[in-house]
Structure 1
């Protein structure tokens, strides 16, 4: 694995499998009464979020602290960017304070790669535009691996035979791109379920235009929200019609097999893509996705900044 994590494509199948294995160690750490180890003591992680975030930002901050790293949270609204300072000058200023890793979310696709040109610190892509969200894909793979007890690791195993329906706003979703890529690397069969107006202009995926076409024959139902903040025009006639064709309604929920996992990256638009209470679905692993986000992001930080030895995960340290 390189010094940064920018996309699933650059991580590759070997790197993906290794991080899933390391996530097992992090899950064990997080089950301890004092879930903290000294693995990254002396390291500093800076979160730089140019877009709103709850799950990802708090997950990275928690992950860094549980590995005993120091954390810095950069507030765009209170920074010199509002005085005309360039992003490059801001990054170089923060780096000069002794930062070992930047975790960046930005509305422009490619921003994490550009940041990597300006610093020798590790760069972790926490979401760039419509392009990529690799740690979400990683936590999704880890959630499926643990929920279905699929032994996917550096020693072997795969998601061969798993049928995944990725449903909703594919066009504007970096999650859809990264998670689809990760599923396919591990052997799963992915179908996009979306209206034509919410598909990217070019793609190689199998596509159907109604959830009813696949709901009886899937193992994983992955629901995406309508990303209205990224839309400059109305791309569906009405939300009621969208729910009727693509939403998880009570009628569709009743058709799901007992083995089917229901996933969502959050935040959820209740009544639109999710017209039922996910807590009442036996296969819902949405809360597990949030929990596993900490395990996986600990694994990423450890892999990039740690000693490379899992022996440093064996001892507790006081807060």
Structure 2
């Protein structure tokens, strides 16, 4: 596997994470128009539906001057039974220089150890989502200027969330603290649990998660209105947040299920800011994948 691949947050050191965030911030200020020194051919291979991740990667790639192809499993040889490895090896063989991959299988990249071009993980099953985590970190850093002693409450469908897993790893590495709330059947072993109301009052960052119905073996036995009242961020709960605390959500947002619709664009919500930061972070990750440097340093 190429050493400049990005597969899991835990594969990065604290300094590497901070380096990516620094580059992302530069892309937002002084290096908005910076492009890769040489034009690169990149493919986005998404085997699951995606809007924000897919198209923010595409936006980042185009802004960096890449030639971009968006692969769809529908109509491809995947429908004929081709393996993930053979699909990826094909793209490598015909000249693609980096691949962005989202796949429903946890840690699908273990099958791709012989691939020599950089692979950027755009989400694997319920396992990892490193670029989502990095854009969350950038949003937190912009707000607080540090991760030390920052308290993050992640609330909702924890057991099926790659976002929860990646953020826990990152915040612990960077000196922050995470707790988790939601229905008992969706908690994970080793993830410290706190009552929803207590967690919201405790946190500096409140991260709400959608219910990932597509990963559930059975449907949720609770109405949307009941879920919001029991586990969601209602206006009443939001009023008890710390005055400086912010609201995050990896999206897509199910309004009036995990969060009251009026709170999505509340003054302390950073949900759409996260989306803007997603392009900056993904530009930084692609820059890293190709070993590029800003002219004249940083």
Q: TM-score, normalised by structure 2?
A: 0.93
Structure 1 position 131 matched with structure 2 position 127: yes
**Which residue is 1:113 aligned to?**
110
Aligned partners of 2:153 and 2:180 also within 8 Å: yes
**Which residue is 1:11 aligned to?**
12
**Which residue is 2:207 aligned to?**
222
- Equivalent runs, 1:85-124 vs 2, <5 Å: 85-115=82-112, 117-124=113-120
Q: Taking structure 1 as reference, are residues 313 and 70 closer, same or farther at Cα in structure 2, changes over 3 Å only?
A: farther
Aligned partners of 1:248 and 1:276 also within 8 Å: no
> What's the CA shift for 1:161?
2.1
For structure 2, which runs of at least 5 residues remain unmatched after alignment? none
Aligned partners of 1:106 and 1:129 also within 8 Å: yes
**Which residue is 2:184 aligned to?**
196
Compare 139-148 and 229-238 and name the one that shifted more. Answer: 229-238
Cα distance in 2 between the residues matched to 1:121 and 1:145: 31
Structure 1 position 311 matched with structure 2 position 288: no
Cα distance in 1 between the residues matched to 2:227 and 2:277: 30
Compare 119-128 and 187-196 and name the one that shifted more. Answer: 187-196
For structure 1, which runs of at least 5 residues remain unmatched after alignment? 151-157, 315-319
Cα distance in 2 between the residues matched to 1:235 and 1:196: 13
Secondary structure of 1:72's partner?
A: strand
Q: 1:246 aligns with which of 207, 231, 236?
A: 231
Structure 1 position 268 matched with structure 2 position 253: yes
Task: Give per-residue Cα distances to partners, 1:24-57, cap 9 Å, x unaligned.
Answer: 1211257xxxx43331532111100000000001
Cα distance in 2 between the residues matched to 1:121 and 1:169: 34
Q: Taking structure 1 as reference, are residues 36 and 70 closer, same or farther at Cα in structure 2, changes over 3 Å only?
A: farther
> What's the CA shift for 1:162?
1.4
> What's the CA shift for 1:237?
3.9
Structure 1 position 176 matched with structure 2 position 172: no
> What's the CA shift for 1:64?
1.0
Aligned partners of 1:23 and 1:299 also within 8 Å: yes
Cα distance in 2 between the residues matched to 1:227 and 1:191: 19
Cα distance in 1 between the residues matched to 2:102 and 2:71: 11
Cα distance in 2 between the residues matched to 1:279 and 1:227: 19
RMSD (Å), alpha carbons: 1.9
Task: Give per-residue Cα distances to partners, 1:76-106, cap 9 Å, x unaligned.
Answer: 1021111232222222221112111110000
Q: Taking structure 1 as reference, are residues 312 and 225 closer, same or farther at Cα in structure 2, changes over 3 Å only?
A: farther
